[in-house]
Amino acid sequence: MNDFIPPAKPIIGDEEREAVDRVLRSGMIAQGPEVKAFEEEFSEHFGLGRACVAVNSGTSGLHLGLLSSGIGPGDEVIVPSFTFAATANSVALTGATPVFADIALDDFTLDPASVEASITDKTKAIMPVHLYGHPAKMAELQAIADKHGLMLFEDAAQAHGASLNGTPVGAFGTFAMFSLYPTKNMTSGEGGMVSAANDEVERNLRLYRNQGMLQQYHNEVVGLNNRMTDIHAAIGRVQLTKVGAWTKQRQDNAAFLSSNLEGVVVPSVADGAVHVYHQYTIRVEGDRDGLSKALKDEYNVGSGMFYPVPNHRLKPFARDIHLPNTEQAAQEALSLPVHPSLSQGDLERVVEAVNALVKAGA
């Protein structure tokens, strides 16, 4: 059989290895000059026009972003249910309550009408997810936030480089978080980068990530140790020099898939949106699970289901609510390989496999 085509593949080169070695030889391993440089270069690279604070994971970034924006017990934050559990986990970890709104099926991101219907007198903020690398409906969500006096946050874990009408994701919210986990569009090993809309949020982020201190033993708040190491920052700095070309390759791969796949709903891109295809996610109206299994068994093509169980059906968040689009997407969404390591032959095999299986009624 042909080689397995994995659904995702982190790319680590000699430059990353040399950067790690440089840090190890320096004797300064914990958070230091590499982290500072990475924060500045990240903001510059993605044109965020605001300060960034590096942390040890994307989940920590969401948690600290929420704490730094004043979210806590008694508050409600509206989030999608169709996302990775880290989105809701981070809200719950502050003592606040995640409230699940439905998504729109065109781009799998929050449906503004469902968000507005979910607002109560405890609602403090809306936290959309730029799912799969497509920007959420930020203009509509900002208008709702303004009308009701709410903050807007961004889970940009999957969306490095995405934009909407020329504004990069990460420049909309009071804070925004980018994940640097190995399968994301760029990595630092593990890590997260948080952008802050103002000095106060930035300062709070720096306090919370370091035990509540900016200055040694001048603790101001109860904080955590969520610092990034210089080893991880050194990897991230190298990846920043490569992520632009990788994104272009993802977009080219997606264009090929979209113009050749048949019998499935291919991803759409909103007017004015730049999609960075963290995932290339189709909707399969027939037997999605059967198609995924046959892709693996018959064609050695990997695929992913993100996410088969909506958060409002997970044990820690179980809610007696019905979110029709979320439940439909959880059954129909299938992510095909789109990562920059794919060859033209790989892409052709993915298309051939999906088209043949769908035609055969898999």
Ligand X SMILES: *Cc1c(COP(=O)(O)O)cnc(C)c1O
Q: How far is the CB of 85 from ligand X (least distance, A)?
A: 8
Residue 86 burial (CB count, 10 A): 23
> Which one, 84 or 317, has the nearer CB to ligand X?
84
| Residue whose C-alpha is closest to residue 152's, from 119, 182, 127 | 127
Q: Give DSSP secondary structure letters for 128-139.
A: -B-GGGPPP-HH
Smallest distance from ligand X to CB 219, Å: 26
| Nearer Cβ to ligand X (59/325) | 59
Please say which residue, 176 or 362, places its beta carbon nearer to ligand X: 176
How far apart (Å, rounded) are the C-alpha atoms in residues 39 and 128? 23
Q: Considering the complex, what minimum distance in angstroms separates the CB of residue 157 from ligand X?
A: 3
Helices 230-240 and 33-45 cross at an angle (nearest 10°) of 30
Q: Which is nearer to ligand X, 312 or 349 (CB)?
A: 312
Catalytic residue among 124, 184, 242, 248: 184
Q: How far is the CB of 276 from ligand X (least distance, A)?
A: 13
Q: Is 184 a catalytic residue?
A: yes
- Cβ proximity to ligand X: between 31 and 57 the closer is 57
Strands 192-196 and 154-155: unpaired
Residue 137: left if φ>0, alpha if ψ -120 to 50, beta else—which one? beta
Nearest CB to ligand X, comparing residues 193 and 294: 193
Q: CB 184 → ligand X: shortest distance, Å?
A: 6
* Smallest separation, CB 262 to ligand X (Å): 29
Please report, as ranges, the residues that interact with ligand X according to CB under 6 A: 57-59, 83-84, 86-87, 129, 155, 157-158, 179, 181, 192
Do 326 and 81 contact (CB within 8 A), yes or no?
A: yes
Q: Do the beta carbons of residue 103 and residue 111 sit within 8 Å?
A: yes
Q: Across the strands, what pairs with 192?
A: 55, 179
Tokens encoding 72:
């806590």
DSSP assignment of 50-80 equals S-EEEES-HHHHHHHHHHHTT--TT-EEEEE
Rounded alpha-carbon distances, angstroms, from residue 68 to 178, 328, 357: 16, 35, 49
Is residue 151 within 8 A of residue 174, CB to CB? The reply is yes
Helix 243-260, helix 344-359: angle, nearest 10 = 30
- Cβ proximity to ligand X: between 231 and 261 the closer is 231
Residue number of the CB atom closest to ligand X: 58
Write out the two tokens for 93: 């970890």
Torsion angles phi and psi, residue 103, rounded to 5? -105, 170
User: Least separation, in Å, of the C-beta of 361 and ligand X?
Assistant: 32
Residues that are catalytic: 184
